[in-house]
Structure 1
């Protein structure tokens, strides 16, 4: 859809987080937008560091990244800046990074199979018309 999309994942115990942007804005505009978003999220999550990455959705490639590191401190100016920022939904809060999972990979059963038997990949096709050489 060529529109801007973003996602932020705070790692609360580690006092850090990640923001990912996907857009086709020019580099200057996209970089400023990413830096601003990272600074806001870093402040609202009381983090000491934050990483931002920007990807091109149409070219399927990484564009650039930003890294923000500083001790968190309360700021009236930042409070005003983040006043209209939507909170991160609870399902995006990562409390224990060791339990982070990106889902299981499908497992293909291995073993000898006849040419007319169903293929082991699970497609439902005969082996000779699917994965068999």
Structure 2
């Protein structure tokens, strides 16, 4: 759809997080947008570090990254800047980094799934036609 998409994943216990942007903006615009978003999320999550990555959805490739590291401190200016920022959905809060899955089969252990039940990978297909052996 050639529109900008993003997701932020805070790792609250580790005081860090990740923001991923997918867009076809020019590099200067996309970089400024990513840096601003990372700084806002780093502040709202009271993190000490934050990583940002930008990908091209049409070329299916990595474009650039940013890294932000500094001790968190209260700021009246940042409070004003983040006032209109939507909160991160609790489902995106990562509790255990070891349970993350980056492609392939999901790494979480689950109970038995019926062959006609929807696949656990979220594809919408029946389990027997998707990830089931």
Question: For this structure pair, what is the TM-score category when the shorter chain's length is used for normalisation?
Answer: 0.7 to 0.9
Shift of the alpha carbon at 1:96?
Answer: 1.9
Unaligned residue ranges in structure 2 (runs of 5+): none
Contact 2:16 2:50 in 1 (8 A): yes
**How many residues are matched?**
133
Alpha-carbon contact 2:38-2:50 (below 8 Å) kept? yes
TM-aligned CA distance change 1:99 to 1:77, over 3 Å: same
TM-score normalised by L of structure 1: 0.77
Structure number with greater Rg is 1
Unaligned runs of 5+ in 1: none
**TM-score when scaled to structure 2?**
0.77
CA displacement at 1:28 relative to structure 2: 0.1
What is the RMSD of the two structures over their aligned residues, measured on CA atoms? 7.0
User: How many Å separate the matches in 2 of 1:16 and 1:106?
Assistant: 23
Cα distance in 2 for residues equivalent to 1:86 and 1:76: 18
Report the CA distance shift for 1:32/1:98 in structure 2 as closer, same or farther (over 3 A): same
Match of 2:95 in 1: 95
